[in-house]
Chain A
Amino acid sequence: MVLQIISNGILMGFIYALVAVGLTLTWGVMDITNFAHGEMLMVGMYTAFWMFELFSIDPLLSIPISTLVVFLLGVLLYKLVIKRVLGGSGLTALLATFGLSMFLKNLAQFLFSPNYRYINGAIVTDKKIVLGNVILGLPQVVAAVGSIIMTLIIIYFINKTKTGKAIQATALNRDTALLMGIDTDKIFAITFGVSGACVGAAGALMSSFFPIYPQSGGLYSIIAFVIVAMGGLGNIKGALYAGLIIGLTEALGGFFLGTQFKYALVFLIYLIVIQVRPKGLFGW
């Protein structure tokens, strides 16, 4: 039984991590607290849903499509909204993303109705892996594996590519990066886009087992904030480890202490970490 709970926690942890990776980029690099992050996840889920409904494209195959759609959405949101508030106070940017969040949620409700939708009949639907007494839902396993791959791609992109290094340089010191000839405006746009790409992929991966509705990104977004702060701002590996910690805390804590407390435990651990290590467990 405990093995089953641990397995569930790890699978959820990887999924949380991918959502958080996107957030850690914008928060760490741009110092923007993006309250619309959950809604970008929702857009990713709806993209996969409509690809399946309209063109019978399986969510697994629509991962590149939803990744691209939310990447473009991220760039667009940066150009139209975020760019204009970057120079202002943190509160201005925070309120702007909060407004974006409300706008995207209500737009989804207006366009797609508030109904809870599920993708039935996807390749992974209703399939499971049985390892002794442990049952792993294939949709969750695929989502976890997808999350790991996507996270590794992001780590590679940030550490090994020229653009990634420019993002790191901009995160360290925007003015110096600008003096070094880095087009920080373009870097910010790419960063916001890559952040969107992460949740676009996460949305497609989650769409085969999680209900799709206008508020579907909300709770994941809140948990992502905790993971990012725990893992250290801008630290992608930190987000991955913190995601696992949160997933396991939720599963084990919920099982042994009562499921009604599972999120309370998550936030309690976060508060303890933030007191002991204000920059997060893996912050720099």
Chain B
Amino acid sequence: MKSKLALLLVIAMMFTLVVSGCTSTQTDAPKQNETPEKSETSEETPTNVDSVKVGAILPLSGSAAATGVKLRYAVEVAQEIINGDHPDIAMPLAEGMGLPNLGNAKIEVVFADHQGNPEVAKTEAERLIQNEKVVSLLGAYQSSATKPASQASERFKVPFVAGSSSSAALTQRGLKYFTRIAPNDDMETEVFFEYIKYLNEETDANIKKVGVVYIDNEYGVHAAEMVDKWLEAKYGAEGFEKVVSVKYPADVSNVDTEVQQIKAANPDVLFHASYIGDITQFVKKYKEFGFIPKAVVNYCGGFQDPQFTVNLGNDGDYFSGGAACTPQLFGKMEVVNKINELYKEKSGGVDIDGPALEEFASLMVIADAINQAKSTDTEKIMETIRTTKFEAPYFSTSAIEFDETGQNIHSASFMVQTQGTKYEAVFPVDVQTAKPVPFKDWTSR
């Protein structure tokens, strides 16, 4: 009896593991031929309402909760700026309370927790649209969760503005109600190669051999595909070659084997697509096994979380990655500095990071679109999102504008490198706060 129970249990667990690891590729296709069940909200077009509901689907529990909670703080700051009176912040909707074109209606954010589970993300999106009557959605951080959630919003014809989900596949699905603020992994990969070329020129690093380390989910797998794409399309001809590709399970108890494989191939540069828990484990193991690459570049994920430097101290130095902001630039950017002050009140003094600022931007774009559309009609809001160039003084590019695929064409991301546990902007040169430093031996830090 006990053995049978054991068998039953473990099969159930295996199923759970497999589902959580693979559902990013099993999500429903958009039901193009199905008559969409319209949100009741979209049928009403009030111009004066007390409040307008926006849904925020984030990983507030589960393995990505540490990041999800920070994203929630950022969305709450955006809500505070919109609903409160902040004349000192020079950005749309800060001065005055609420949405002026809708009788100063307040933005009410309804949060939902997808737990890092794509299936939950989908059902939460449906719940927010059908039960909570939200007029727009934002989220969901993990691309594997954003994918099914945005497909649900597409079916209901409700706009979905993703902040920090980076898988390029999200904007390659032909969805009409989906947009994304962050640069995608396709764009990031090209920037990474250009950054490495810059490193080769500036520091004689002679980086040629590329290693790819990625988590086995939508985010990681697609990032790895983009490395292959760019090597084949352009950078392979310039002398770069991939020498190792290591895919690790989404939930991992140790990374010893992974690091041994990497060390055996001895790549010059590692392209990492990892979340905060994984990347920290990897760095500790790189140190333990004495693996010293010439550079490590990180896709939007764990590296950008300030907890990376908190946990690793100087061992976390000389890692690079794309970011939408860095505290080192706050002195030059007054608006983001003020946003950061509000954010720190919620985060207990931790600075806002790139993914959090991108989720902040999601709500600002949605609120701005509702205000400019002067309506809560989801079709009109989406039309405004698609056709408007939004002011975004909190980004280095100062603007957000979406192309026909829904991708923000004013990529706000630049390369940062950890130096002395600070995120210094290192590339492109015009935003540079410090010169990039070659990766140093673990003992000389």
Contact with B along A252-284 (1 / 0, CB 8 A): 001100111011100100110010001110010
Contact of B260 among A4, A28, A105, A274 (CB under 8 A): A4
| B437 touches A (CB below 8 Å) | no
Residues of A contacting B11 with CB < 8 Å?
271
Residues of A contacting B174 with CB < 8 Å?
none
CB of A5 to closest CB in B, whole Å: 6
Residues of B contacting A33 with CB < 8 Å?
5, 9
Evaluate contact between B66 and A213: CB separation under 8 angstroms: yes
CB of B289 to closest CB in A, whole Å: 6
B window 387-401: CB within 8 A of A:
none
- Do most interface residues of chain B lie in helix, strand or loop, or is the interface mixed? helix
Residues of B contacting A113 with CB < 8 Å?
66, 69
Find the B residue at minimum CB distance from A226.
B10
CB of B25 to closest CB in A, whole Å: 13
CB of A176 to closest CB in B, whole Å: 18
Evaluate contact between B288 and A254: CB separation under 8 angstroms: no
Among the stretches A115-123, A156-164, A185-193, A236-244, the one at the interface with B is A115-123
Query: What class of interface size applies to chain A in its complex with B?
Result: 35 or more
Contact with B along A217-241 (1 / 0, CB 8 A): 0111011011011000100000000
Evaluate contact between A109 and B61: CB separation under 8 angstroms: yes
Evaluate contact between B248 and A267: CB separation under 8 angstroms: no
CB of B346 to closest CB in A, whole Å: 12
Query: What class of interface size applies to chain B in its complex with A?
Result: 35 or more
Residues of B contacting A279 with CB < 8 Å?
3
Among the stretches B202-210, B249-257, B326-334, B419-427, the one at the interface with A is B249-257
CA distance A280 to B4 in the complex (A): 11
Among the stretches B30-38, B228-236, B276-284, B359-367, the one at the interface with A is B276-284
A window 10-42: CB within 8 A of B:
12, 27-28, 31, 33
Q: Given that A4-B260, A114-B68 are known contacts, is A233 also in contact with B17, CB under 8 Å in the complex?
A: no
CA distance A264 to B9 in the complex (A): 15
B window 238-260: CB within 8 A of A:
246-249, 251-254, 256-258, 260
Q: Given that A5-B257, A209-B284, A218-B251 are known contacts, is A274 also in contact with B264, CB under 8 Å in the complex?
A: no
Evaluate contact between A263 and B17: CB separation under 8 angstroms: yes
| B429 touches A (CB below 8 Å) | no
CA distance A31 to B6 in the complex (A): 11
Residues of A contacting B6 with CB < 8 Å?
225, 228-229, 233, 274
CA distance A128 to B256 in the complex (A): 14
Find the A residue at minimum CB distance from B60.
A114
CA distance A262 to B254 in the complex (A): 11
CB of A49 to closest CB in B, whole Å: 12
Residues of A contacting B62 with CB < 8 Å?
215
- Do most interface residues of chain A lie in helix, strand or loop, or is the interface mixed? helix
Evaluate contact between B3 and A229: CB separation under 8 angstroms: yes
Residues of B contacting A95 with CB < 8 Å?
none
| B372 touches A (CB below 8 Å) | no
CA distance A207 to B14 in the complex (A): 26
| A180 touches B (CB below 8 Å) | no
Residues of A contacting B258 with CB < 8 Å?
254, 259
CA distance A214 to B60 in the complex (A): 12
Evaluate contact between B248 and A118: CB separation under 8 angstroms: no
CB of B211 to closest CB in A, whole Å: 13
Find the B residue at minimum CB distance from A135.
B289
Contact of A259 among B68, B247, B281 (CB under 8 A): B247
CA distance A271 to B15 in the complex (A): 13
Residues of A contacting B4 with CB < 8 Å?
278
Contact with B along A178-212 (1 / 0, CB 8 A): 00000000000000000000000000000001110
Evaluate contact between B256 and A211: CB separation under 8 angstroms: no
Find the A residue at minimum CB distance from B64.
A114
Evaluate contact between A258 and B311: CB separation under 8 angstroms: no
Q: Given that A115-B307, A267-B10, A274-B6 are known contacts, is A262 also in contact with B257, CB under 8 Å in the complex?
A: yes
CB of B389 to closest CB in A, whole Å: 36
CB of B333 to closest CB in A, whole Å: 26
Q: Given that A12-B254, A120-B313, A137-B288 are known contacts, is A274 also in contact with B3, CB under 8 Å in the complex?
A: yes
Contact with A along B272-305 (1 / 0, CB 8 A): 0000110011001001111000000000000000
Evaluate contact between A211 and B248: CB separation under 8 angstroms: no
| B89 touches A (CB below 8 Å) | no
| A250 touches B (CB below 8 Å) | yes
Evaluate contact between A260 and B3: CB separation under 8 angstroms: no
Find the A residue at minimum CB distance from B246.
A259
CA distance A270 to B311 in the complex (A): 36
Evaluate contact between A215 and B63: CB separation under 8 angstroms: yes
Given A211-B281, A260-B216, 6 extra CB contacts under 8 A: A115-B307, A137-B288, A222-B17, A229-B7, A229-B9, A229-B10
* Residues of A participating in the B interface, judged by any CB pair closer than 8 Å: 1, 4-5, 8, 12, 27-28, 31, 33, 90, 105-106, 109, 113-118, 120, 126, 128, 135, 137, 209-211, 213-215, 218-220, 222-223, 225-226, 228-229, 233, 250-251, 254-255, 258-260, 262-264, 267, 270-271, 274, 278-280, 283
Could you give 14 example pairs across A and B, Cβ below 8 Å?
A: A8-B260, A31-B2, A128-B288, A211-B311, A213-B277, A214-B65, A215-B65, A229-B9, A251-B256, A259-B248, A260-B249, A262-B249, A262-B257, A274-B7
